[in-house]
Structure 1
Amino acid sequence: LTYIGELLSAVKRRFITLFDGQLTAGNLKPVAFDHEFIAILNAIEDQNERSQRAKRTPTASVETSPYIGGQGVPDATSTVTRKALRNRKQKGAKPTPETIAAKTKKGKKEQRVWDNGRVSEANMKAFDFSGTADGDSQPESFDHLMDASSMGQRTADGYYTVQDLQGRAPQGHPNLESDCASDSNEEGIGPTHATAAVSTPGRFISFFRGLTGQRTLTDADLVPVLGQMKEHLIAKNVASHIADHICQSVQQSLANVQLGTFQSIRAAVREAMERTLQRILTPSTSMDLLRDIDAARAQHRPYIITFIGVNGVGKSTNLSKVCFWLLQNKLKVLIAACDTFRSGAVEQLRVHGRNLRALSDNAVVDIFQRGYGKDSASIAKDAIATAHRENYDVVLIDTAGRMQDNEPLMRALAKLVAVNSPDKIIFVGEALVGNEAVDQLTKFNKALKDFAPAAQTSRQIDGIILTKFDTIDDKVGAALSMTYTTGKPILFVGTGQTYTDLRNMSVQHVVQSLMDQ
């Protein structure tokens, strides 16, 4: 009973009230209290029942907002809007075109009609969404894939050549006459003086301060200056050990050299450095690919070029740029899709092939592919056989990107080269890398040598394409590092995203950028 406590308290109070005198006197006799107890019990029970009925009575309903999916309480604006819409409906507002359209029932979707399971000619026209609304098909534009201002030139004998890499005006290079004039009043140069002269970072003209006049250069004169030059080359993205070797070479060439009467140490070191850089960057082998292709055509065989490199440097993109250049020279090109590892590699080449055919009149460029997961060496071999049979002039072999430390993939590359003996092996590398470029080239060459069959003469990289050259400003040190490491020429540099963004590397441009402040 929930009211037992209240009942006992009430009984106690009533009992004490009636029999207080007897209790105090100690005169304890049986008393008649049953009638009083029943009266108290009935009163307590009635009170408890009334209290229970009051709890069961529901409270007045309160209007609540509908659930809105946890997006928070609706704001005042949305509430007012809903009320306005309800009032508008109740008042019979004039219907608007929007409300009329909303009330109009959509017709039942018409079922497609098939004739014996085949599409009729009428339905074919209905299903053709390739044209415009009036039925006239608009040809796809490919103009954005080439830049007319970047097109190359035709030589006197009809060959199409790409543009040379354009240099910039020298910055921070006063001429030698002003060098001599500014240095004519200086006195003595040694390690302490030279170090103080080059304390301002970033200013190339402070590298080579010295006296004019007849004197013999010593290591004490050259070491501080060439130390600053080494730091300058490293800042230009030249690999550190290559910058060190070049500075040592310049030091040896200037040791015990007697300066002219009006020649400064700065001018002498600068001239020696420029000569050294030009010697390294000037190719020692032929770079005339078109002449080599003509020689192969005279032998009634295709000229084979294999593109190799690490992942993500743009091998397929720059292969397509080279293909555009070849197509401008009216050559038939077959692209061998030997990247059987990267998803989408074959489809990427198909898109390039379609674009190149659209950009060049009467262009013949086809894709040879066998899908994914196949042996790349066998695919290249079949592509070359097809090129022989169908009289293609050039075969461009696109290979999978691979890191230089991945031995299984490097073995597969060496096998492809050994089986197919390409005329040119072109390494595609980024112009953004520094020391990494040396590591990549060294290990690719080493893998081609170490994993070649014993009965065959090992091959090496024959040339280089530098990509993303438009993103590095004057930090062209990767070109120097790669050429110094391999002794092979840089055939082209990539300078953009269109098929015409391919340039011949200018030795003078690279030297100027390296010597610039």
Structure 2
Amino acid sequence: MLDYVVVFTKGGIILWDNNSSEITYTSCINNLIRSVLLEERNAESKYFEEDNLAVQFKLDNELDLVFAVIFQKVIKLNYLDAFLSEMQQAFNRKFGEVLVSLLRLPTKYDFNEEFQNTLTTVEKSANKISKAPKQMRSYNESTKSKKSVASMYDDSSKNENAKRVVIQETYKQQEPQLTNENLILENRKKLKEKMTAKKSPTEPKSKTPTSEKAGKKPRVWDLGGSAKDAVILDRSKDQPQDVQYQSVQNNIVGTMQGRIRDLEVESDDEATEIEEKKGPSAAKSSGILSYFKGIVGSKTLTKVELQAVLEKMRDHLISKNVAADIANKLCDSVATNLEGKSLGTFDSIASLVKNSLTTSLVRILSPKRRIDIIRDALEAKSNGKPYSITFCGVNGVGKSTNLAKICFWLIENNFSVLIAACDTFRAGAVEQLRTHTRHLNALHPPERHNNRTMVQLYEKGYGKDAAGIAMEAIKYAHDTCIDIVLVDTAGRMQDNEPLMRSLSKLIKVNDPDLVLFVGEALVGNEAVDQLVKFNQSLADYSANENPHIIDGIVLTKFDTIDDKVGAAISMTYITGQPIVFVGTGQTYSDLKALNVNAVVRALMK
């Protein structure tokens, strides 16, 4: 059974071996030394396998020896641990003194006789143990026969069991005439009394009739409301209340025909009246023009005299969220117009500063290309293809809401629109667009447009490829003669590479006519960083030589920033792309076009 038995040093010198077969096991022993002994692995199991062979070994740390046995892996030998221990003791008894004194003169040690004797002894003892059957105990010898009937009912602790046995034995001695049946009945009675005594302290108080009838009470929210309100607030399905929505919002129908209205500009007379109502303190600090009151006179203005005033003007512009380099350019433009001039009154210098700022801002805010969506959509319609617009931006800036506003403006101008729900990630994104579609169709029902549904939603649910959905939506719009396709995409941070690659793929595959970046005016210059990185990502992750980057900007929440309009100037200046729409509220008609005069008025406050 043992193919090879060997004793060798940890350095690999064989002191003795016994090979019962003609096979050489040198590679197996070398692998044992290399992969187990040198790496100090299998320190506990002392077992090693290679191919169909198994090696069991024992270490002698005192003499630095290894006792190993090689055998077939399919054979199970239970006595090898004992055999290796006996062989180690026999080998140490015979050669221990020689090994300790390092007198290892003979290359092979004569250990054959001791090996055979040790193997025979261990095999015989192992056979005796394996052949001897285990003697089963009789019932009287088992512990079960010593258990009483009472112990079968309650065995919570050993002390109680012992006490119960003593009581039962005493009871038997006092009442020898009791039969087994009577004893069982008596024990059951005692057990019942004991369990009743245990339950009595922890019994719950009797419930009142009202508490028994009362069931689980619904949660009462702080702001009130009931289950009936949930049905009313559910907008996932068409309800009769949608007719009321149409009648309430019907006053905005027809208000957005033609081009988008500009932002309202406060006139000079209105500004003067507001300052007079606020009092003389407000009149003294009338914004950016108040810095120039100190240089009024007939003398000729120099660059040194303007330096202090322009520094204050620069800080004022930066406080309005204008980027620092743009603020410097605006100040330089004003300085160029004022230097070398002789100004007699404050009115003349105020008008000159205002005109200079207006000229500079017009130069900055004027787009490199003019975007006219109505003109381009009509041209695409005449060519027999839909006009597609893709909306992109970071999370929570209002892409879906402003998409619905633009959609309302388009159907006001008698365009049929298909909304592609390509935000397949955010929960509720498709339902939000479905609700907008229902409301827009309620404002513009088919009977007003020759039984043509003005707004349709193309959706494929969640977890799908956005680029594929957009492609299918554009094809569907082409087949059904829909004028415009608005593609809503998922919000994504500008530093998220996988999502930016996905957006680049959507734009590259579908090549929309217009890519709009939706930015939030509330975050100031952070929107500039978002816009720059979106542009850079679309350029980097596109394989085209001329990648399609952002064409225009939609600036949302413009009504929340008051006079801090610097983000609009910074975004346009850095990217060169125009601000096409400005969101000024939460209804469909709250969509405006950026007005340079309104920006100048806000900067000069």
With the shorter chain as reference, the TM-score category is 0.5 to 0.7
1:244-263 matches, cutoff 5 A: 244-251=328-335, 253-254=336-337, 256-259=339-342
Match of 2:548 among 459, 464, 479: 459
Counterpart in 2 of 1:320? 404
Q: Which amino acid aligns with 2:434?
A: R
Q: CA 1:486/1:357 → structure 2, altered by over 3 Å: closer, same or farther?
A: same
Contact 1:238-1:480 within 8 A present in 2 as well? yes
How far is the alpha carbon of 1:250 from its aligned partner?
Answer: 3.6
CA shift digits 1:20-47 (9 cap, x unpaired): xxxxxxxxxxxxxxxxxxxxxxxxxxxx
Match of 2:296 among 183, 186, 211: 211
Contact 2:394-2:493 within 8 A present in 1 as well? yes
**Runs of 5+ unmatched residues, structure 1:** 1-65, 70-81, 83-101, 106-128, 131-135, 155-159, 175-199
Counterparts of 1:219 and 1:480 in 2: how far apart (Å)?
26
Q: Which amino acid aligns with 2:296?
A: L
CA shift digits 1:388-431 (9 cap, x unpaired): 11111101000111111111111111111111111111111112
Counterpart in 2 of 1:4? none
Q: Which amino acid aligns with 1:152?
A: T
Counterpart in 1 of 2:495? 405
Contact 2:343-2:349 within 8 A present in 1 as well? no
Counterpart in 2 of 1:383? 473
RCO comparison, higher one (Cα < 8 Å, 6+): 1
Q: CA 1:241/1:435 → structure 2, altered by over 3 Å: closer, same or farther?
A: farther
Counterpart in 1 of 2:512? 422
Counterparts of 1:497 and 1:258 in 2: how far apart (Å)?
48
**Runs of 5+ unmatched residues, structure 2:** 1-203, 214-230, 233-238, 273-283, 447-452
3-state DSSP of counterpart to 2:363: helix
Counterpart in 2 of 1:229? 313
Q: CA 1:262/1:450 → structure 2, altered by over 3 Å: closer, same or farther?
A: same
Q: Which amino acid aligns with 1:233?
A: L
Match of 1:293 among 377, 385, 390: 377
How far is the alpha carbon of 1:285 from its aligned partner?
Answer: 2.4
Counterparts of 1:234 and 1:458 in 2: how far apart (Å)?
33
Contact 2:377-2:484 within 8 A present in 1 as well? yes
How far is the alpha carbon of 1:165 from its aligned partner?
Answer: 1.6
3-state DSSP of counterpart to 1:318: helix
Contact 2:296-2:344 within 8 A present in 1 as well? no
3-state DSSP of counterpart to 2:463: coil
1:167 corresponds to 2:247: no
Q: CA 1:137/1:268 → structure 2, altered by over 3 Å: closer, same or farther?
A: closer
1:54-453 matches, cutoff 5 A: 140-143=243-246, 146=249, 148=251, 152=255, 154=257, 160-170=258-268, 203-209=287-293, 210-213=295-298, 215=300, 217-251=301-335, 253-254=336-337, 256-259=339-342, 267-362=351-446, 363-453=453-543
3-state DSSP of counterpart to 2:377: helix
CA shift digits 1:248-299 (9 cap, x unpaired): 3443x34754346668655544432222122212334223210010111111
Q: Which amino acid aligns with 2:539?
A: K
How far is the alpha carbon of 1:231 from its aligned partner?
Answer: 1.5
Q: CA 1:229/1:67 → structure 2, altered by over 3 Å: closer, same or farther?
A: farther
Counterpart in 1 of 2:558? 469
How far is the alpha carbon of 1:355 from its aligned partner?
Answer: 0.9
Contact 1:172-1:205 within 8 A present in 2 as well? no
Q: CA 1:498/1:483 → structure 2, altered by over 3 Å: closer, same or farther?
A: same
Counterparts of 1:303 and 1:431 in 2: how far apart (Å)?
27
TM-score normalized by structure 2?
0.54
What is the number of residues matched between the two proteins?
358
Q: Which amino acid aligns with 1:422?
A: P
Name the % identity. 50
Counterpart in 2 of 1:501? 590
Contact 1:441-1:485 within 8 A present in 2 as well? no
How far is the alpha carbon of 1:221 from its aligned partner?
Answer: 2.1
Counterparts of 2:499 and 2:241 in 1: how far apart (Å)?
45
How far is the alpha carbon of 1:233 from its aligned partner?
Answer: 1.3
3-state DSSP of counterpart to 1:304: strand
Match of 1:489 among 575, 578, 584: 578
How far is the alpha carbon of 1:333 from its aligned partner?
Answer: 0.8
Counterparts of 1:137 and 1:476 in 2: how far apart (Å)?
42
Q: CA 1:303/1:227 → structure 2, altered by over 3 Å: closer, same or farther?
A: same
Contact 1:146-1:500 within 8 A present in 2 as well? no
Q: Which amino acid aligns with 2:261?
A: Q
3-state DSSP of counterpart to 1:510: helix
Contact 2:387-2:485 within 8 A present in 1 as well? yes
Match of 2:600 among 492, 511, 514: 511
CA shift digits 1:221-268 (9 cap, x unpaired): 2221111111111222223343233323443x3475434666865554
Q: CA 1:68/1:408 → structure 2, altered by over 3 Å: closer, same or farther?
A: farther
Q: CA 1:241/1:150 → structure 2, altered by over 3 Å: closer, same or farther?
A: farther
Q: CA 1:260/1:364 → structure 2, altered by over 3 Å: closer, same or farther?
A: same
Counterparts of 1:292 and 1:152 in 2: how far apart (Å)?
22
How far is the alpha carbon of 1:151 from its aligned partner?
Answer: 5.5
3-state DSSP of counterpart to 2:292: coil
Please say which of residues 293-302 and 239-248 is displaced more in the overlay: 239-248
Q: Which amino acid aligns with 2:435?
A: V
How far is the alpha carbon of 1:515 from its aligned partner?
Answer: 1.4
Contact 2:392-2:488 within 8 A present in 1 as well? yes
Contact 2:564-2:603 within 8 A present in 1 as well? yes
Q: Which amino acid aligns with 1:211?
A: V
How far is the alpha carbon of 1:495 from its aligned partner?
Answer: 1.5
Q: Which amino acid aligns with 1:169?
A: S
3-state DSSP of counterpart to 2:554: strand
Q: Which amino acid aligns with 1:315?
A: K
Counterparts of 2:240 and 2:427 in 1: how far apart (Å)?
32
Q: CA 1:272/1:343 → structure 2, altered by over 3 Å: closer, same or farther?
A: same
Q: CA RMSD, aligned part only?
A: 3.2
